[in-house]
Structure 1
Amino acid sequence: MSSLPALLPADPEAPFPPAERALRQPDGLLAVGGDLSPARLLNAYRHGIFPWYSAGQPILWWCPDPRTVFATDHVRLSSKFRRSLRRCDWTVRADTAFAEVIEACARTPRPGQHGTWIIDDMRVAYQRMHALGYAHSFEVFDGERLVGGIYGIAVGRMFFGESMFSAQPGGSKVALAALAHHLDHWGWPLIDAQVENDHLLSLGAQRWPRRRFLETVADLRDQPELRGPWTARVGDWPARRLGITGDQAPAAD
């Protein structure tokens, strides 16, 4: 295995190197360079690869092993949090505030992280993907105030989560659980969460070997699914429905 990542050619249609060539240290670094054009991004996600880099760096492309994922029927919310949601007036919508969600994700401080990897070029690229019908957001509103959200890329029936945020406690949990609930009901079994952390694991994230993840992506990416906004599919969905035991897998307090 090479000790250096591959250098991508200028052609956005050029294939990525096989994911198995990704470095062990840093885990999953596969390639450097290229651009964030829709063609390049779609090519990457279709092969389980995502961009992740900071200001001043070249574009870095990753496919770590293991891969962190959520089964859409197994996002865990504590019993205490579920009980609080039964009295909650929050509303969940989709694709009504994509730019606001990605901006909030960029502003939200992360433990152990200085600055943000969601730099201007990333925001522009994913807003372009949203306009093309590939990038989606789930938004949590308290009245008309945005209190949480999540965004990512949909290819076939595979959802690749990118980032989420909370402006009030529990906002990101509701966004993730509502996304998983709807995807499960639409027949989408998996959400990619990329790299593990304690918060994701507490919500039910699983570690999959890269090979298993890539085989699943290869099956789901070509399954038919309509592109475009999900706004009408979700409507104004009451977050209190997540407080009903059985909507998603409950966790102990």
Structure 2
Amino acid sequence: MSGKAPRVFDAETRSDPDFPWLEVDERFSFPDPEDACGSVVAVGGNLSPGMIVSAYTQGIFPWFNEDDPLYWQSPDPRFVITPESFHVPSRLSRVIRQGKFDITADREFERVITWCSAITRDDQDGSWITDDMAEAFIRLHRLGIAHSVEAWKDGHLVGGLYGVQIGAVFFGESMFTRVSDASKTAFAVFADAFFNRMGGALIDSQVYTDHIARFGGMNISRLAYLRKLRDFFGNTDASSLLRPGLWVNF
């Protein structure tokens, strides 16, 4: 197998005191994901705002289990939605027209991430949204970079999703549902607004899921994905692509 072993900053901790804490306008250069042996590009460091923003703009994201070190990953292939591929299944379109759910943005970010963290996957012993991961994204939300979309029914939070927006790219992290169609409706309403009203060019869903495939999600090679990011971001400082403050109204 070709490729380099992942760069190790500190494999024993997710908050190395000797590793610099990067503010949101500070950047770190990760190893090139195309040189990685597998999906793990680097191990360790910390979950400071500047590290996370740096990672996303380079096609990398933090993904690890509770007892793991901090893994920075860039899977191949990458699962994405584009404006051209996006569509809403006809049955769900009827649900949206019927107004079964009220959809909001950035109203209950912390509750959304708490519900998402309660979800476990079949191949994991626990949630990948650890306490320190949740804290990291709450920091990004307070900086106006991480966002949530909520689905409400009769005044109760019944579904939602969260992720990070940098420029024309939304990096989806997780979603949850407590009522059938709640998270699907939240995603459909958000994606339509993102592509058609907010100038969005790509939703990155990281890895394949049946849920997102229904909306036109497709696998592309890591190389193609990285090229898209370079086209979107170019040599622009990521700080100028961040959009703090009011995000979107549905």
Q: TM-score, normalised by structure 2?
A: 0.85
| 180-189 vs 41-50, greater mean Cα deviation | 180-189
Which residue of structure 2 aligns with residue 241 of structure 1?
none
Equivalent of 2:226 in 211, 214, 217? 214
Which residue of structure 1 aligns with residue 5 of structure 2?
4
Which residue of structure 2 aligns with residue 23 of structure 1?
37
Equivalent of 1:68 in 51, 57, 79? 79
Distance 1:69 1:7 in 2: 28
Cα RMSD for the two superposed structures: 2.0
* Residue 113 of structure 1: how far off its partner (Å): 3.4
User: Is it true that 1:49 corresponds to 2:63 in the alignment?
Assistant: no
Q: How many residues align?
A: 231
Which residue of structure 2 aligns with residue 35 of structure 1?
46
Distance 2:87 2:121 in 1: 21
**Is the Cα–Cα contact under 8 Å of residues 69 and 205 in structure 1 kept in the other structure?**
yes
Which residue of structure 2 aligns with residue 142 of structure 1?
153
Which residue of structure 2 aligns with residue 204 of structure 1?
216
Which residue of structure 2 aligns with residue 166 of structure 1?
177
Distance 1:123 1:228 in 2: 19
**Is the Cα–Cα contact under 8 Å of residues 95 and 229 in structure 1 kept in the other structure?**
no
Distance 2:114 2:216 in 1: 26
* Residue 198 of structure 1: how far off its partner (Å): 2.6
Which residue of structure 1 aligns with residue 203 of structure 2?
191
Which residue of structure 2 aligns with residue 96 of structure 1?
107
Equivalent of 2:92 in 76, 81, 86? 81
More RCO (CA 8 Å, sep 6+): 1
Stretches of structure 1 lacking an aligned partner (at least 5 in a row): 238-253
Distance 2:165 2:127 in 1: 23
Distance 2:231 2:152 in 1: 34
Q: TM-score, normalised by structure 1?
A: 0.84
**Is the Cα–Cα contact under 8 Å of residues 96 and 185 in structure 2 kept in the other structure?**
no
**Is the Cα–Cα contact under 8 Å of residues 140 and 171 in structure 1 kept in the other structure?**
yes
Corresponding letter in the other structure for 2:229: V
Over 3 Å counting, the alpha-carbon distance change for 1:77 and 1:157 in structure 2 is closer
1:25-59 CA deviation, whole Å, 9 max, x = no partner? xxx11110000000111110111100000112110
* Residue 3 of structure 1: how far off its partner (Å): 5.6
**Is the Cα–Cα contact under 8 Å of residues 73 and 180 in structure 1 kept in the other structure?**
no
Distance 2:84 2:185 in 1: 14
Corresponding letter in the other structure for 1:76: H
**Is the Cα–Cα contact under 8 Å of residues 101 and 185 in structure 2 kept in the other structure?**
no
User: Secondary structure at 2:165's aligned position in 1?
Assistant: strand
**Is the Cα–Cα contact under 8 Å of residues 72 and 183 in structure 1 kept in the other structure?**
no
Equivalent of 2:246 in 230, 234, 244? 230
**Is the Cα–Cα contact under 8 Å of residues 134 and 227 in structure 1 kept in the other structure?**
yes
Distance 2:149 2:85 in 1: 18
1:145-169 CA deviation, whole Å, 9 max, x = no partner? 1111111111122111111111111
Over 3 Å counting, the alpha-carbon distance change for 1:226 and 1:21 in structure 2 is closer
* Residue 81 of structure 1: how far off its partner (Å): 2.6
Stretches of structure 2 lacking an aligned partner (at least 5 in a row): 11-18
Which residue of structure 1 aligns with residue 14 of structure 2?
none
User: Secondary structure at 1:153's aligned position in 2?
Assistant: strand
